[in-house]
Amino acid sequence: MALLEVDDLSVTFARRGQRTVHAVDGVSFSVDAGEVVGLVGESGCGKSVTSLAIMGLLPRQPGLRVGGRAVFDGTDLLQLDDRSRRDIRGRDVAMIFQDPLSSLNPVIPIGLQVTEVLTRHRGMKGEAAQKEAADLLDRVGIPDPRRRLKEYPHQLSGGMRQRALIAMAVACQPRLLIADEPTTALDVTIQAQILELLKELVRDSGTALVMITHDLGVVAGMCDTINVLYAGRVVETARRRPLFREPRHPYTVGLLGSVPRLDAGRGERLNPIPGSVRDVLAWPDGCAFAPRCTRRIDECVGAPPELTLTYDGRSYRCVNPPPVPGTPPPAATDAGAPEPATGGPVPAPREEEKP
């Protein structure tokens, strides 16, 4: 049983006189303890709405409908009432947001914002809470934590603010951490520091991490399993190496082709995906990516493509997937079929993961 099991999650925003927007449409994924799962996609693909729905942070407004299940350790987070949700949030499940300046309260000192969590969930008060807060700031690499506790968010640099936010999130040693674009607002050298810190947290405390990002480079270095989202649907799920080595969905192929690579030579043109995400609205029934897809065939229009499962937890939603480079057609690798043991007596695991 996975720690978090998201099953057929859907979020729709309806407004009178306007078409209903399916922000998230049947998203399913699971996260095990100590695992880093990535949700990747461009703006508007529903990755942030997914995380907000799981946390129960979507603004209550008429027309909002959340369906499906998000089972965390046996309890469906979507069915909880406000009180028990508040108990879980911050203690068992915590979140790190993109922009640390707008998610910290500007008129309250950092110390108070950190101790607030400790008081609410661990019942710590006074000097004990102060000491614990200083320890937390120290753990996330903020120098001179005692003085920092008295300072306000604007007195900290961007990297420090993000560290403070992480300190608040890990204050109660949550079992699940959701990081929504945690490094997008930061410079590359600071980004490297923060990613290293998150990796350390996962390694040392076995926290499960859901990493939401648009940066394929960040995903390549951090995530164990990756879900690629497009227009509110998971279009491809795979372990890290197979995804980058042999992407099966045309959108994933397109994304990988359109990122300029630091280790590539100068002069070669990028292969952008034609059109833009806004074209999605035109074809609501078929595959959402079809208007931009170079491998479009007639079957793409009409009904949304079913999820195709292949070996090793891989799945994709495409009726005409690009061929895997350098391998014969995967005849022996139907759904659920074990990896054929070729060569040595012991079948090597497909994915050699970091210890």
* By CB under 8 A, residue 159 contacts other proteins: yes
CA distance 9 to 308: 18
Q: Of the two residues 4 and 185, which places its CB atom closer to other proteins in the complex?
A: 185
- Please pick, from the candidates 8, 76, 187, 285, the single residue that binds other proteins as defined by CB under 8 A: 187
* By CB under 8 A, residue 323 contacts other proteins: no
Q: How far is the CB of 1 from other proteins (least distance, A)?
A: 28
For the window 37-56, what string marks contact with other proteins as x by the rule CB under 8 A? -----xx-------------
What number of chain residues touch other proteins (CB under 8 A)? 58
Helix residue spans in the chain (DSSP H): 47-55, 82-88, 100-103, 110-122, 126-139, 145-148, 158-169, 188-205, 216-222, 240-245, 250-258
Structure-token match 């359109």, residue found: 258
> Helix and strand tally (H, E) in the chain?
11, 12
* By CB under 8 A, residue 269 contacts other proteins: yes
* By CB under 8 A, residue 99 contacts other proteins: no
Residue 283 burial by CB count (10 A; 0-12/13-18/19+): exposed, middle or buried? middle
Q: Of the two residues 118 and 185, which places its CB atom closer to other proteins in the complex?
A: 185
- Please pick, from the candidates 197, 202, 287, 288, the single residue that binds other proteins as defined by CB under 8 A: 197
* By CB under 8 A, residue 190 contacts other proteins: yes
Q: Of the two residues 60 and 266, which places its CB atom closer to other proteins in the complex?
A: 266
- Please pick, from the candidates 63, 84, 205, 221, the single residue that binds other proteins as defined by CB under 8 A: 221
SS3 category, 171: coil
CA distance 11 to 67: 6
Phi-psi region of 74 (alpha: psi -120 to 50; beta: other; left: phi over 0): left
Look up residue 196 and give its amino acid: E
Answer for the pair 250, 318: CB distance below 8 angstroms, yes or no.
yes
CA distance 185 to 282: 32
Answer for the pair 11, 59: CB distance below 8 angstroms, yes or no.
no
Q: How far is the CB of 217 from other proteins (least distance, A)?
A: 3
* By CB under 8 A, residue 341 contacts other proteins: no
What backbone torsions phi and psi does residue 66 show, to the nearest 5 degrees? Answer: -115, 125
Q: How far is the CB of 123 from other proteins (least distance, A)?
A: 27
Phi-psi region of 302 (alpha: psi -120 to 50; beta: other; left: phi over 0): left
Q: Which two tokens stand for residue 72?
A: 């965390």
Q: What is the per-residue DSSP string for 76-95?
A: EGGG--HHHHHHHBTTTEEE
- Please pick, from the candidates 91, 122, 139, 295, the single residue that binds other proteins as defined by CB under 8 A: 139
Q: Of the two residues 123 and 265, which places its CB atom closer to other proteins in the complex?
A: 265
CA distance 92 to 175: 5
* By CB under 8 A, residue 152 contacts other proteins: no
Q: How far is the CB of 290 from other proteins (least distance, A)?
A: 15
- Please pick, from the candidates 192, 281, 301, 348, the single residue that binds other proteins as defined by CB under 8 A: 192
- Please pick, from the candidates 57, 108, 128, 264, the single residue that binds other proteins as defined by CB under 8 A: 264
**Under rule CB under 8 A, which residues in 274-313 are in contact with other proteins?**
274, 276-278
Q: How far is the CB of 264 from other proteins (least distance, A)?
A: 7
Question: Which of the ranges 29-37, 167-175, 253-261, 296-304 carries the binding residues for other proteins, by CB under 8 A?
Answer: 253-261
Residues in contact with other proteins by the rule CB under 8 A? 42-43, 138-139, 141-144, 155, 157-160, 187-193, 195-197, 200, 214-221, 240-241, 244, 254-266, 269-274, 276-278, 354
